[in-house]
Structure 1
Amino acid sequence: MTRDEYQQSLADLRADVLAMGNLVGSRLDRALMALSTVDEAAARAVAGADDEVDRRYLDLESRCIQLLARQQPVASDLRFVASSFKILTDLERVGDLAVNLAQYTLAADRKRFEEVDLSAIGDLAREMLDDAMVAYRTDDAALCRDIAERDDELDVLCQRASERVVRELIEHEVDEGDSWAVEELLDDVSRLLLVVRDLERVGDHAVNIAARTLYMVESDPALV
Protein backbone atom coordinates (compact mmCIF):
# COMPACT_ATOMS: atom_id res chain seq x y z
CA MET A 1 0.00 0.00 0.00
CA THR A 2 1.44 3.40 -1.01
CA ARG A 3 1.50 6.35 1.39
CA ASP A 4 -1.36 8.01 -0.47
CA GLU A 5 -3.42 4.83 -0.31
CA TYR A 6 -2.64 4.51 3.38
CA GLN A 7 -3.77 8.07 4.11
CA GLN A 8 -6.95 7.43 2.13
CA SER A 9 -7.60 4.29 4.17
CA LEU A 10 -7.36 6.38 7.36
CA ALA A 11 -9.77 8.96 5.92
CA ASP A 12 -12.13 6.18 4.90
CA LEU A 13 -11.99 4.72 8.40
CA ARG A 14 -12.96 8.05 9.97
CA ALA A 15 -15.83 8.47 7.49
CA ASP A 16 -17.11 4.97 8.20
CA VAL A 17 -16.89 5.42 11.98
CA LEU A 18 -18.90 8.63 11.58
CA ALA A 19 -21.42 6.76 9.42
CA MET A 20 -21.80 4.14 12.14
CA GLY A 21 -22.30 6.97 14.62
CA ASN A 22 -25.11 8.31 12.44
CA LEU A 23 -26.69 4.87 12.24
CA VAL A 24 -26.55 4.33 15.98
CA GLY A 25 -27.80 7.87 16.60
CA SER A 26 -30.81 7.29 14.37
CA ARG A 27 -31.58 4.06 16.23
CA LEU A 28 -31.36 5.91 19.53
CA ASP A 29 -33.60 8.71 18.23
CA ARG A 30 -36.23 6.21 17.18
CA ALA A 31 -36.01 4.35 20.50
CA LEU A 32 -36.42 7.60 22.45
CA MET A 33 -39.38 8.58 20.28
CA ALA A 34 -40.97 5.18 20.80
CA LEU A 35 -40.43 5.48 24.54
CA SER A 36 -42.00 8.93 24.80
CA THR A 37 -45.00 8.17 22.56
CA VAL A 38 -45.40 4.48 23.44
CA ASP A 39 -45.06 3.68 19.74
CA GLU A 40 -44.84 -0.10 19.64
CA ALA A 41 -44.23 -0.26 15.87
CA ALA A 42 -41.21 2.01 16.16
CA ALA A 43 -39.97 0.04 19.16
CA ARG A 44 -40.19 -3.23 17.25
CA ALA A 45 -38.29 -1.67 14.32
CA VAL A 46 -35.43 -0.70 16.64
CA ALA A 47 -35.41 -4.00 18.50
CA GLY A 48 -35.26 -5.95 15.25
CA ALA A 49 -32.53 -3.92 13.54
CA ASP A 50 -29.52 -4.55 15.77
CA ASP A 51 -27.85 -6.90 13.28
CA GLU A 52 -26.87 -4.06 10.94
CA VAL A 53 -25.01 -2.25 13.73
CA ASP A 54 -23.26 -5.47 14.72
CA ARG A 55 -22.20 -6.19 11.14
CA ARG A 56 -20.74 -2.72 10.69
CA TYR A 57 -18.96 -2.99 14.00
CA LEU A 58 -17.31 -6.28 13.11
CA ASP A 59 -16.30 -5.05 9.66
CA LEU A 60 -14.72 -1.85 10.96
CA GLU A 61 -13.08 -3.67 13.85
CA SER A 62 -11.41 -5.98 11.32
CA ARG A 63 -10.19 -3.02 9.28
CA CYS A 64 -8.68 -1.38 12.36
CA ILE A 65 -6.83 -4.58 13.21
CA GLN A 66 -5.51 -4.86 9.66
CA LEU A 67 -4.26 -1.27 9.71
CA LEU A 68 -2.49 -1.85 13.00
CA ALA A 69 -0.99 -5.18 11.96
CA ARG A 70 0.04 -4.45 8.37
CA GLN A 71 0.91 -0.76 8.23
CA GLN A 72 2.73 -0.18 11.52
CA PRO A 73 1.37 3.38 11.83
CA VAL A 74 3.43 6.21 13.31
CA ALA A 75 2.47 7.67 16.69
CA SER A 76 -0.32 10.04 15.60
CA ASP A 77 -1.82 7.53 13.18
CA LEU A 78 -1.53 4.81 15.80
CA ARG A 79 -3.51 6.94 18.25
CA PHE A 80 -6.13 7.61 15.58
CA VAL A 81 -6.63 3.95 14.69
CA ALA A 82 -6.58 2.79 18.32
CA SER A 83 -9.05 5.52 19.34
CA SER A 84 -11.34 4.72 16.40
CA PHE A 85 -11.24 1.05 17.40
CA LYS A 86 -12.38 1.90 20.93
CA ILE A 87 -15.00 4.40 19.73
CA LEU A 88 -16.56 1.66 17.60
CA THR A 89 -17.02 -0.41 20.75
CA ASP A 90 -18.79 2.47 22.48
CA LEU A 91 -21.06 3.00 19.48
CA GLU A 92 -21.95 -0.68 19.32
CA ARG A 93 -22.91 -0.60 22.98
CA VAL A 94 -25.07 2.49 22.49
CA GLY A 95 -26.81 0.50 19.76
CA ASP A 96 -27.47 -2.22 22.32
CA LEU A 97 -28.84 0.34 24.76
CA ALA A 98 -31.23 1.63 22.07
CA VAL A 99 -32.53 -1.92 21.72
CA ASN A 100 -32.98 -2.09 25.51
CA LEU A 101 -35.07 1.10 25.42
CA ALA A 102 -37.21 -0.29 22.62
CA GLN A 103 -37.79 -3.52 24.52
CA TYR A 104 -38.81 -1.55 27.59
CA THR A 105 -41.43 0.28 25.52
CA LEU A 106 -42.86 -3.05 24.42
CA ALA A 107 -42.85 -4.62 27.88
CA ALA A 108 -43.97 -1.96 30.34
CA ASP A 109 -47.03 0.12 31.04
CA ARG A 110 -45.47 3.56 30.54
CA LYS A 111 -48.76 5.26 31.48
CA ARG A 112 -48.28 4.18 35.09
CA PHE A 113 -45.50 6.69 35.83
CA GLU A 114 -46.24 9.48 33.37
CA GLU A 115 -45.00 12.10 35.85
CA VAL A 116 -41.45 10.78 35.55
CA ASP A 117 -39.94 12.89 32.76
CA LEU A 118 -37.49 10.85 30.72
CA SER A 119 -37.43 13.23 27.76
CA ALA A 120 -34.93 15.67 29.29
CA ILE A 121 -32.60 12.81 30.15
CA GLY A 122 -32.88 11.28 26.70
CA ASP A 123 -32.40 14.63 24.96
CA LEU A 124 -29.24 15.43 26.93
CA ALA A 125 -27.75 11.96 26.44
CA ARG A 126 -28.47 12.14 22.70
CA GLU A 127 -26.95 15.62 22.47
CA MET A 128 -23.81 14.43 24.23
CA LEU A 129 -23.45 11.51 21.81
CA ASP A 130 -23.94 13.77 18.80
CA ASP A 131 -21.37 16.26 20.07
CA ALA A 132 -18.91 13.46 20.81
CA MET A 133 -19.06 12.41 17.18
CA VAL A 134 -18.65 16.04 16.07
CA ALA A 135 -15.54 16.24 18.26
CA TYR A 136 -14.21 13.06 16.65
CA ARG A 137 -14.88 14.43 13.18
CA THR A 138 -13.29 17.83 13.83
CA ASP A 139 -10.56 16.94 16.38
CA ASP A 140 -12.20 19.38 18.80
CA ALA A 141 -10.50 19.00 22.19
CA ALA A 142 -12.54 21.79 23.83
CA LEU A 143 -15.80 20.08 22.87
CA CYS A 144 -14.50 16.84 24.39
CA ARG A 145 -14.03 18.57 27.73
CA ASP A 146 -17.45 20.22 27.50
CA ILE A 147 -19.08 16.82 27.04
CA ALA A 148 -17.44 15.58 30.24
CA GLU A 149 -18.82 18.58 32.14
CA ARG A 150 -22.34 17.92 30.88
CA ASP A 151 -22.13 14.37 32.18
CA ASP A 152 -22.49 15.75 35.72
CA GLU A 153 -25.79 17.36 34.69
CA LEU A 154 -26.97 14.06 33.20
CA ASP A 155 -26.09 12.20 36.39
CA VAL A 156 -28.16 14.65 38.44
CA LEU A 157 -31.17 14.25 36.15
CA CYS A 158 -30.90 10.46 36.36
CA GLN A 159 -30.64 10.52 40.14
CA ARG A 160 -33.69 12.76 40.45
CA ALA A 161 -35.70 10.55 38.11
CA SER A 162 -34.77 7.40 40.04
CA GLU A 163 -35.71 9.04 43.32
CA ARG A 164 -39.04 10.13 41.81
CA VAL A 165 -39.80 6.56 40.71
CA VAL A 166 -39.06 5.19 44.16
CA ARG A 167 -41.12 7.92 45.83
CA GLU A 168 -44.10 7.24 43.56
CA LEU A 169 -43.77 3.52 44.25
CA ILE A 170 -44.02 4.20 47.97
CA GLU A 171 -47.04 6.47 47.47
CA HIS A 172 -48.76 4.26 44.88
CA GLU A 173 -51.92 2.57 46.06
CA VAL A 174 -52.34 -1.06 45.09
CA ASP A 175 -54.38 -3.92 46.50
CA GLU A 176 -51.75 -5.94 48.38
CA GLY A 177 -54.02 -8.95 48.14
CA ASP A 178 -53.76 -8.87 44.36
CA SER A 179 -50.37 -10.53 43.90
CA TRP A 180 -50.55 -10.14 40.12
CA ALA A 181 -51.07 -6.38 40.36
CA VAL A 182 -48.23 -6.04 42.86
CA GLU A 183 -45.88 -8.05 40.67
CA GLU A 184 -46.85 -6.03 37.59
CA LEU A 185 -46.22 -2.78 39.44
CA LEU A 186 -42.80 -3.89 40.63
CA ASP A 187 -41.89 -5.06 37.12
CA ASP A 188 -42.75 -1.64 35.72
CA VAL A 189 -40.74 0.11 38.41
CA SER A 190 -37.77 -2.14 37.71
CA ARG A 191 -37.94 -1.49 33.97
CA LEU A 192 -38.27 2.25 34.44
CA LEU A 193 -35.21 2.33 36.67
CA LEU A 194 -33.35 0.32 34.03
CA VAL A 195 -34.31 2.89 31.40
CA VAL A 196 -32.86 5.66 33.55
CA ARG A 197 -29.72 3.60 34.02
CA ASP A 198 -29.39 2.90 30.30
CA LEU A 199 -29.83 6.57 29.38
CA GLU A 200 -27.11 7.41 31.87
CA ARG A 201 -24.91 4.81 30.18
CA VAL A 202 -25.48 6.45 26.80
CA GLY A 203 -23.97 9.56 28.34
CA ASP A 204 -21.10 7.50 29.75
CA HIS A 205 -20.32 6.16 26.28
CA ALA A 206 -20.41 9.71 24.89
CA VAL A 207 -17.85 10.67 27.52
CA ASN A 208 -15.76 7.64 26.56
CA ILE A 209 -15.82 8.72 22.91
CA ALA A 210 -14.78 12.22 23.95
CA ALA A 211 -11.91 10.86 26.04
CA ARG A 212 -10.69 8.63 23.21
CA THR A 213 -10.89 11.57 20.79
CA LEU A 214 -8.91 13.72 23.20
CA TYR A 215 -6.25 11.00 23.37
CA MET A 216 -6.22 10.92 19.57
CA VAL A 217 -5.75 14.70 19.38
CA GLU A 218 -3.53 15.44 22.38
CA SER A 219 -2.18 12.01 23.35
CA ASP A 220 -3.81 12.55 26.76
CA PRO A 221 -7.24 11.10 27.58
CA ALA A 222 -7.73 13.21 30.72
CA LEU A 223 -10.90 15.27 30.33
CA VAL A 224 -10.32 17.36 33.45
Structure 2
Amino acid sequence: MPRNEYQADLVDLREDVVAMSETVAERLEMGLTALETGDEELAREVINGDDEINQLYLDLEKQCTDLIALQQPVAGDLRFIAASFKIITDLERIADLATNLGEYATAADNDVFPSVDIQDIGETTLAMLDSAMEAYAAEDRELCYTVNDRDDELDEACEVASGTVVRELIEGEKLGDKEIETFMQDVSRLLLTIRDLERVGDHTVNIAARALYMIDNNDELIY
Protein backbone atom coordinates (compact mmCIF):
# COMPACT_ATOMS: atom_id res chain seq x y z
CA MET A 1 0.00 0.00 0.00
CA PRO A 2 1.48 3.40 -0.95
CA ARG A 3 2.46 5.63 1.97
CA ASN A 4 -0.11 8.32 1.14
CA GLU A 5 -2.89 5.70 1.06
CA TYR A 6 -1.74 4.36 4.42
CA GLN A 7 -1.83 7.86 5.94
CA ALA A 8 -5.32 8.38 4.51
CA ASP A 9 -6.42 5.15 6.17
CA LEU A 10 -5.14 6.43 9.52
CA VAL A 11 -7.11 9.65 9.04
CA ASP A 12 -10.21 7.63 8.13
CA LEU A 13 -9.82 5.52 11.26
CA ARG A 14 -9.70 8.57 13.51
CA GLU A 15 -12.74 10.09 11.82
CA ASP A 16 -14.69 6.82 12.02
CA VAL A 17 -13.92 6.40 15.73
CA VAL A 18 -15.13 9.96 16.38
CA ALA A 19 -18.27 9.27 14.32
CA MET A 20 -18.96 6.16 16.41
CA SER A 21 -18.57 8.22 19.58
CA GLU A 22 -21.12 10.73 18.30
CA THR A 23 -23.63 7.95 17.69
CA VAL A 24 -22.98 6.51 21.14
CA ALA A 25 -23.39 9.94 22.77
CA GLU A 26 -26.67 10.40 20.91
CA ARG A 27 -27.95 7.06 22.23
CA LEU A 28 -26.89 7.93 25.76
CA GLU A 29 -28.70 11.24 25.55
CA MET A 30 -31.79 9.51 24.13
CA GLY A 31 -31.73 7.03 27.02
CA LEU A 32 -31.57 9.85 29.54
CA THR A 33 -34.43 11.67 27.83
CA ALA A 34 -36.52 8.50 27.81
CA LEU A 35 -35.93 8.13 31.54
CA GLU A 36 -36.94 11.72 32.20
CA THR A 37 -40.04 11.76 30.01
CA GLY A 38 -41.17 8.14 30.17
CA ASP A 39 -41.13 8.06 26.36
CA GLU A 40 -41.36 4.33 25.69
CA GLU A 41 -41.01 4.73 21.93
CA LEU A 42 -37.72 6.59 22.39
CA ALA A 43 -36.56 3.97 24.88
CA ARG A 44 -37.29 1.22 22.34
CA GLU A 45 -35.31 3.13 19.72
CA VAL A 46 -32.28 3.09 22.00
CA ILE A 47 -32.69 -0.61 22.75
CA ASN A 48 -33.20 -1.59 19.12
CA GLY A 49 -30.26 0.53 18.00
CA ASP A 50 -27.75 -1.55 19.93
CA ASP A 51 -27.18 -3.84 16.95
CA GLU A 52 -26.06 -0.85 14.88
CA ILE A 53 -23.46 0.07 17.50
CA ASN A 54 -22.22 -3.51 17.63
CA GLN A 55 -21.77 -3.50 13.86
CA LEU A 56 -19.89 -0.20 14.00
CA TYR A 57 -17.60 -1.76 16.58
CA LEU A 58 -16.93 -4.82 14.41
CA ASP A 59 -16.24 -2.69 11.35
CA LEU A 60 -13.77 -0.53 13.24
CA GLU A 61 -12.15 -3.54 14.85
CA LYS A 62 -11.46 -4.85 11.34
CA GLN A 63 -9.99 -1.50 10.29
CA CYS A 64 -7.60 -1.65 13.24
CA THR A 65 -6.56 -5.26 12.72
CA ASP A 66 -6.11 -4.80 8.97
CA LEU A 67 -3.85 -1.79 9.52
CA ILE A 68 -1.73 -3.74 11.99
CA ALA A 69 -1.58 -6.91 9.88
CA LEU A 70 -0.99 -5.27 6.51
CA GLN A 71 1.15 -2.27 7.48
CA GLN A 72 2.97 -3.45 10.60
CA PRO A 73 2.98 0.08 12.06
CA VAL A 74 5.51 1.13 14.68
CA ALA A 75 5.95 3.86 17.28
CA GLY A 76 3.28 6.57 17.17
CA ASP A 77 1.16 4.94 14.48
CA LEU A 78 1.00 1.69 16.43
CA ARG A 79 0.04 3.51 19.62
CA PHE A 80 -2.67 5.37 17.70
CA ILE A 81 -4.17 2.20 16.25
CA ALA A 82 -3.96 0.36 19.59
CA ALA A 83 -5.57 3.30 21.39
CA SER A 84 -8.33 3.47 18.78
CA PHE A 85 -9.07 -0.21 19.27
CA LYS A 86 -9.28 0.20 23.04
CA ILE A 87 -11.46 3.30 22.69
CA ILE A 88 -14.04 1.63 20.44
CA THR A 89 -14.31 -1.11 23.06
CA ASP A 90 -15.16 1.47 25.71
CA LEU A 91 -17.60 3.17 23.34
CA GLU A 92 -19.38 -0.13 22.71
CA ARG A 93 -19.72 -0.66 26.45
CA ILE A 94 -21.09 2.85 26.95
CA ALA A 95 -23.67 2.03 24.29
CA ASP A 96 -24.61 -1.09 26.25
CA LEU A 97 -25.15 1.07 29.32
CA ALA A 98 -27.30 3.45 27.27
CA THR A 99 -29.36 0.42 26.26
CA ASN A 100 -29.80 -0.36 29.94
CA LEU A 101 -31.20 3.14 30.45
CA GLY A 102 -33.69 2.48 27.67
CA GLU A 103 -34.77 -0.72 29.37
CA TYR A 104 -35.16 1.02 32.73
CA ALA A 105 -37.22 3.74 31.07
CA THR A 106 -39.80 1.24 29.82
CA ALA A 107 -40.67 0.23 33.37
CA ALA A 108 -39.46 2.87 35.83
CA ASP A 109 -41.55 5.25 37.89
CA ASN A 110 -39.53 8.44 37.65
CA ASP A 111 -41.45 10.13 40.47
CA VAL A 112 -40.32 7.74 43.19
CA PHE A 113 -37.35 9.90 44.26
CA PRO A 114 -37.70 13.35 42.66
CA SER A 115 -34.87 14.61 44.87
CA VAL A 116 -32.40 12.49 42.87
CA ASP A 117 -31.34 14.42 39.77
CA ILE A 118 -30.46 11.68 37.28
CA GLN A 119 -30.39 14.16 34.42
CA ASP A 120 -27.68 16.24 36.07
CA ILE A 121 -25.54 13.14 36.54
CA GLY A 122 -26.23 12.16 32.95
CA GLU A 123 -25.18 15.58 31.66
CA THR A 124 -21.87 15.17 33.48
CA THR A 125 -21.22 11.83 31.77
CA LEU A 126 -22.08 13.31 28.35
CA ALA A 127 -19.69 16.21 28.93
CA MET A 128 -16.95 13.81 30.02
CA LEU A 129 -17.45 11.69 26.91
CA ASP A 130 -17.31 14.76 24.69
CA SER A 131 -14.08 15.93 26.32
CA ALA A 132 -12.48 12.49 26.15
CA MET A 133 -13.21 12.19 22.46
CA GLU A 134 -11.98 15.72 21.81
CA ALA A 135 -8.75 14.75 23.57
CA TYR A 136 -8.44 11.80 21.19
CA ALA A 137 -9.40 13.71 18.04
CA ALA A 138 -7.28 16.80 18.73
CA GLU A 139 -4.48 15.02 20.64
CA ASP A 140 -5.09 17.32 23.60
CA ARG A 141 -3.18 15.98 26.59
CA GLU A 142 -4.64 18.53 29.03
CA LEU A 143 -8.18 17.37 28.30
CA CYS A 144 -7.14 13.83 29.20
CA TYR A 145 -6.33 15.01 32.73
CA THR A 146 -9.50 17.12 32.87
CA VAL A 147 -11.65 14.05 32.20
CA ASN A 148 -9.77 12.04 34.80
CA ASP A 149 -10.21 14.78 37.42
CA ARG A 150 -13.89 15.23 36.63
CA ASP A 151 -14.52 11.56 37.39
CA ASP A 152 -14.13 12.38 41.08
CA GLU A 153 -17.00 14.86 40.73
CA LEU A 154 -19.14 12.22 39.05
CA ASP A 155 -18.33 9.58 41.66
CA GLU A 156 -19.30 11.99 44.43
CA ALA A 157 -22.59 12.87 42.71
CA CYS A 158 -23.41 9.18 42.31
CA GLU A 159 -22.55 8.49 45.93
CA VAL A 160 -24.79 11.33 47.09
CA ALA A 161 -27.64 10.14 44.86
CA SER A 162 -27.39 6.57 46.10
CA GLY A 163 -27.23 7.80 49.68
CA THR A 164 -30.36 9.89 49.14
CA VAL A 165 -32.25 6.84 47.88
CA VAL A 166 -31.18 4.73 50.84
CA ARG A 167 -31.91 7.49 53.38
CA GLU A 168 -35.39 8.21 52.02
CA LEU A 169 -36.10 4.50 51.77
CA ILE A 170 -35.21 4.02 55.43
CA GLU A 171 -37.30 7.02 56.44
CA GLY A 172 -40.20 5.46 54.57
CA GLU A 173 -41.71 8.79 53.56
CA LYS A 174 -42.09 7.78 49.92
CA LEU A 175 -43.93 4.52 50.45
CA GLY A 176 -47.45 5.85 50.88
CA ASP A 177 -50.00 3.41 49.52
CA LYS A 178 -47.78 1.99 46.80
CA GLU A 179 -47.59 -1.75 46.63
CA ILE A 180 -44.24 -2.62 48.22
CA GLU A 181 -42.95 -5.01 45.55
CA THR A 182 -43.51 -2.51 42.74
CA PHE A 183 -41.94 0.23 44.81
CA MET A 184 -38.83 -1.85 45.50
CA GLN A 185 -38.47 -2.62 41.80
CA ASP A 186 -38.47 1.11 41.10
CA VAL A 187 -35.84 1.63 43.80
CA SER A 188 -33.69 -1.11 42.31
CA ARG A 189 -33.93 0.39 38.82
CA LEU A 190 -32.96 3.82 40.14
CA LEU A 191 -29.90 2.46 41.92
CA LEU A 192 -28.93 0.53 38.78
CA THR A 193 -29.30 3.72 36.75
CA ILE A 194 -26.93 5.55 39.09
CA ARG A 195 -24.47 2.67 38.94
CA ASP A 196 -24.58 2.52 35.15
CA LEU A 197 -23.97 6.26 34.79
CA GLU A 198 -20.99 5.95 37.11
CA ARG A 199 -19.68 3.19 34.83
CA VAL A 200 -20.13 5.44 31.80
CA GLY A 201 -17.82 7.86 33.57
CA ASP A 202 -15.28 5.09 34.15
CA HIS A 203 -15.29 4.28 30.43
CA THR A 204 -14.75 7.93 29.52
CA VAL A 205 -11.71 7.96 31.81
CA ASN A 206 -10.46 4.86 29.99
CA ILE A 207 -10.83 6.73 26.70
CA ALA A 208 -8.90 9.71 28.06
CA ALA A 209 -6.21 7.40 29.41
CA ARG A 210 -5.75 5.74 26.04
CA ALA A 211 -5.69 9.11 24.33
CA LEU A 212 -2.88 10.24 26.65
CA TYR A 213 -0.97 7.03 25.92
CA MET A 214 -1.44 7.65 22.20
CA ILE A 215 -0.24 11.25 22.44
CA ASP A 216 2.75 10.94 24.77
CA ASN A 217 3.39 7.22 25.26
CA ASN A 218 2.28 7.98 28.82
CA ASP A 219 0.39 5.24 30.70
CA GLU A 220 -0.10 7.34 33.85
CA LEU A 221 -3.90 7.31 33.66
CA ILE A 222 -4.23 3.70 32.58
CA TYR A 223 -3.16 2.23 35.92
Q: Quick check: TM above 0.5? A: yes
Following the alignment from structure 1 to structure 2, what is the Cα–Cα distance between the partners of residues 186 and 168? 12
Q: Give the C-alpha shift of residue 16 in structure 1.
A: 0.3
Following the alignment from structure 1 to structure 2, what is the Cα–Cα distance between the partners of residues 201 and 87? 15
User: Unaligned stretches of 5+ in structure 2?
Assistant: none
- Aligned pairs, how many? 221
Moved more, 29-38 or 75-84: 29-38
Following the alignment from structure 2 to structure 1, what is the Cα–Cα distance between the partners of residues 219 and 131? 17
Task: Tell me what 1:184 maps to.
Answer: 182
Task: Tell me what 2:31 maps to.
Answer: 31
Q: Matched residue of 1:111: which SS?
A: coil
Q: Matched residue of 2:80: which SS?
A: helix
Task: Tell me what 2:202 maps to.
Answer: 204
Q: How does 1:74-89 map to 2 (within 5 A)?
A: 74-89=74-89
Moved more, 164-173 or 9-18: 164-173
Q: TM-score, length-normalised on structure 2?
A: 0.95
Task: Tell me what 1:158 maps to.
Answer: 158
Task: Tell me what 2:55 maps to.
Answer: 55
Could you list the structure 1 runs, at least 4 aligned residues long, displaced by more than 2 angstroms after superposition. Answer: 172-175
Q: TM-score, length-normalised on structure 1?
A: 0.95
Task: Tell me what 1:213 maps to.
Answer: 211
Amino acid at match of 2:105: T
Task: Tell me what 1:117 maps to.
Answer: 117
Moved more, 112-121 or 160-169: 112-121
CA shift digits 1:66-118 (9 cap, x unpaired): 11111110210000000000000000001101000111111221121222111
Q: Percent identity?
A: 56
Following the alignment from structure 1 to structure 2, what is the Cα–Cα distance between the partners of residues 65 and 163? 44
Following the alignment from structure 1 to structure 2, what is the Cα–Cα distance between the partners of residues 43 and 168? 28
Q: CA RMSD in A?
A: 1.5
Following the alignment from structure 2 to structure 1, what is the Cα–Cα distance between the partners of residues 171 and 77? 57
User: Unaligned stretches of 5+ in structure 1?
Assistant: none
